[in-house]
Amino acid sequence: MAALELLSDEGYRVDGRRAAELRKVRARMGVFAQADGSAYIEQGNTKALAVVYGPHEMRGSRSKALHDRALVNCQYSMATFSTSERKRRPHGDRKSSEMTLHLKQTFEAAILTQLYPRSQIDIYVQILQADGGNYCACVNAATLAVIDAGIPMRDYVCASSAGFVEDTPLADLSYVEEAAGGPQVALALLPASEHIALLEMNARLHEDRLEEVIEAASRACKAVHAVLDRVVRDHVQEATAL
Amino acid sequence: GSITTADGSALVKLGNTTVICGVRAELAAPPVDSPNKGYIVPNVELPSLCSTRFRPGPPGEEAQAASQFIADVIENSQIIEKEDLCIANGKLAWVLYCDIICLDYDGNILDASTFALLAALKNVQLPAVTVNEETGLSEVNLKQKNPLIIRKHPVATSFAIFDDTLLIVDPTAEEEDLATGTVTVVTDEEGRLCSVHKPGGSPLTGAKLQDCITRAVTRHKEVKKLIDKVIKSIQPK
């Protein structure tokens, strides 16, 4: 293995965190005037921006409109300067399309689309700096943006990644830990009901271990939920105080 | 300097219009016809998240026109001497990729992009590179970083014209939609003109144009002071 030890003997990770510790999360809502809802989130060094337009009338082909639900349209893109090597194609490549699809599926599960038939909700996510946990930062930012837009959802959607090194599950992986190649799980959870909106796992993991890793990811999601909830309450308090 | 993965970055907010610029430096062989020069490649992106008027897909004409405008400003104002970007004559030079992304579109994208570009370039730290004579390979010294030498500081000022009667400076999106024409004037610190951009629209008298130019010069001074203040405040890093 590489000389980089993901978990030292004392239990510290590469960036000095403990195994179950999350990176510092900072978030702001209502950052843009043009959009119906917007949010900015920083999870450690990963910075993501989400913008929501909607619900509005279907653009483009009317035939794609669903007669009983709203259509959720997502787009995920990464800024060309977001990764340590300049990324040539910000959208349209396979990884981005896959992320876009995952985001769309996750939010279709959470947003109460039955309230807005024949309309469209656009969720655009932009990553300004990528340092691991891109999908998770996007989901968290998009949740805040949807709340900022006033679109009703079943519950917050909180996401976190988790990995596994030497019998210990790690929560909230950074880029270095993701690149090391161990098993990784990305989990999007609706915290109150503990329903899983999306679960994705890479690499091989013994099935006995799966339980532990999912447990670690759920705990991380709940911690994120606490932070996001506070951000929303503070924002609403500020907005209504004026 | 908010984006650590980029070599230099800046975020500019002009009212509601928000633009972020990230500069990445890479090594490449210089062009054959000018072996002692590097290159700067600007790119302006107006993604669909900044406004409902932009559809997802390949860059529209407004984005391409803005990219070309920025390229012209860089060329005409000589903000950086391309010779400074050269490391080894004919073999190795720096290429600066400047990516300007608009995050919130509320008019006057050209002014905001020029400020963001200037601020980001001032923020760039290039590592020292030496070329090993025997092997011909380059050795990058990441520990030792030098800032870029910015020669001139161009600042753009845009105006919206309404039928030759009214002239307003720094238009918002609503004003731009209703305007019958726009003018953008780029000046540098010695009060010299770098570029005047008037893409069609209703005609403007010479006197009015002169008026715009004088206002642009005043604005330049204010903006330069602001940029200097910000750069100084992040200096001790």
Express each pLDDT in A202-227 by its tens digit: 777 778 888 888 888 888 888 889 99
How near does any CA of chain A get to the CA of B211, in Å? 32
Residues of B within 8 A of A131 (CB-CB) are 5
Phi, psi (deg, nearest 5) at residue A47: -120, 125
Q: What's residue A144's pLDDT?
A: 92
- Dist. CA B148–CA B137, nearest whole Å: 23
Contact: B103, A45; criterion CB under 8 Å: no
pLDDT at B134: 61
- Which segment of A40-49, A147-156, A171-180, B192-201 scores lowest on mean pLDDT? B192-201
pLDDT given at position A212:
84
pLDDT tops 50 at residue A171: yes
pLDDT at A86: 63
pLDDT at residue number A102: 86
CB within 8 Å: A75 and B48: yes
pLDDT band at B57; cut points 50, 70, 90: low
Tell me, rounded to whole angstroms, the distance of Cα A165 from its chain centroid.
23
Collect all residues of chain A within an 8 Å Cβ-Cβ radius of residue B48.
75, 122, 124
What confidence tier does A145 reach under pLDDT thresholds 50, 70, 90?
A: very high
Residue B165 domain-assigned (yes or no): yes
Range of the domain at B67: 8-234
Confirm whether B96 is domain-assigned: yes
pLDDT for res B237: 42
**Which three-class secondary structure state does DSSP give residue A180?**
coil
A168 in contact with B, Cβ within 8 Å: no
What is the tens place of the pLDDT at every residue in B70-104?
888 888 777 777 777 777 666 777 888 888 888 88
Report the share of chain A in percent with pLDDT over 90: 6
Query: How much is the pLDDT for A41?
Result: 92
Number of residues written out for chain A:
242
For residue A73, what pLDDT is reported? 87
Residue A2's pLDDT is 45
Choose the weakest-confidence range: A8-12, B5-9, B112-116, B158-162. A8-12
A49 touches B: beta carbon within 8 Å: yes
Q: At residue A68, does pLDDT exceed 80?
A: yes
CA of B1 vs chain A CAs: smallest distance (Å): 12
According to the model, what pLDDT value does residue B13 have?
84
Q: Does A12 reach chain B within 8 Å, measured CB to CB? A: no
For residue B36, the number of C-alpha atoms closer than 13 Å in the C-beta half-sphere is 3
Question: Would B1 be classed as within a structural domain?
Answer: no
Residue B42 CA neighbour count, 13 Å, CB half: 27
In contact, A151 and A123? CB cutoff 8 Å: no
Taking the CA of residue B3 and the nearest CA in chain A, the distance in Å comes to 6
Q: What percent of chain B has pLDDT over 70?
A: 85
Mean pLDDT (whole number) for B102-122:
84
Nearest residue, CB atoms, A81 vs list B22, B49, B173:
B22
Q: How close, in Å, is residue B18 to chain A by CA atoms?
A: 8
CA–CA distance, B22 with B121 (Å, rounded to integer): 9
Q: Residue B177 is part of a domain; what is its CATH number?
A: 3.30.230.70
For residue A225 the two structure tokens come to: 């939920």
The tokens for A27 are: 């978030």
pLDDT of the residue at B27: 78
Residue B172 near chain A (CB below 8 Å)? no
Greater model confidence, B32 or B72: B72
Render pLDDT for A20-32 as a digit per residue (tens, 0 to 9). 788 888 898 888 8
Q: Which residue of B has its CA nearest to A80?
A: B99
Q: Of the CATH numbers 3.90.870.40, 3.40.50.150, 3.40.50.1820, 3.30.230.70, which one belongs to the domain with range A25-241?
A: 3.30.230.70
Helix, strand or coil for residue A16?
Answer: coil
A51 touching B (Cβ < 8 Å): yes
Q: Which two tokens stand for residue A181?
A: 């190649």
CA B192 to chain centre: 17
Burial class (CB within 10 angstroms; exposed 0-12, middle 13-18, buried 19+) of B233: exposed
Tell me, yes or no, whether B129 lies in a domain: yes
β-strand pairing of B92-104 with B17-28: antiparallel
Shortest CA gap A85–chain B (Å) = 8
Which whole number is the average pLDDT over A112-130?
87
Count of domains forming chain B: 1
The whole-chain average pLDDT of chain A stands at 83
Residue B101 β-bridge partners = B20, B45
Q: Is the ipTM of this complex over 0.90?
A: no
- Three-state SS for B46? coil
The alpha-carbon gap from A33 to the nearest alpha carbon of chain B, in Å, equals: 6
Residue A205: both structure tokens together: 């993991």
Q: What is the mean pLDDT of residues A133-159?
A: 89
- Tell me whether residues A33 and B106 touch, CB distance under 8 A: yes
DSSP assignment of A95-144, as one string?
HHHHHHHHHHHHHHHHB-GGGSTTEEEEEEEEEEE-SS-HHHHHHHHHHH
Phi and psi dihedrals of B148, rounded to 5? -75, 150
CB A35 within 8 A of CB B102: no
Give the one of A32, A86, A91 whose C-beta lies nearest to B104's C-beta: A32
Residue A59 parent element (H or E): none
B65 CB near a chain A CB, below 8 Å? no
The domain limits of chain A are 25-241
The verdict on a CB contact (< 8 Å) between B45 and A90 is yes
Within a domain: B2: no
- Residue B98 covered by a domain: yes
Is the minimum CB–CB distance between B112 and chain A shorter than 8 Å?
Answer: no
What is the mean pLDDT of the segment spanning B203-209? 77
Could you tell me if A104 and A2 are in contact, meaning their C-beta atoms sit under 8 angstroms apart?
no
Tell me the average pLDDT across B107-130.
81
How buried is residue A10: exposed, middle or buried, by Cβ count under 10 Å (0-12/13-18/19+)? exposed
Q: Is residue A14 very low, low, confident or very high in pLDDT (cuts 50, 70, 90)? A: confident
For B192, phi then psi, to 5°, come to -95, 150
Euclidean distance between CA atoms B148 and B85, whole angstroms? 9
Span A130-158, average pLDDT: 89
CB contact A47 to B (< 8 Å): yes
| Partner-chain contact B50 A81, CB within 8 Å | no
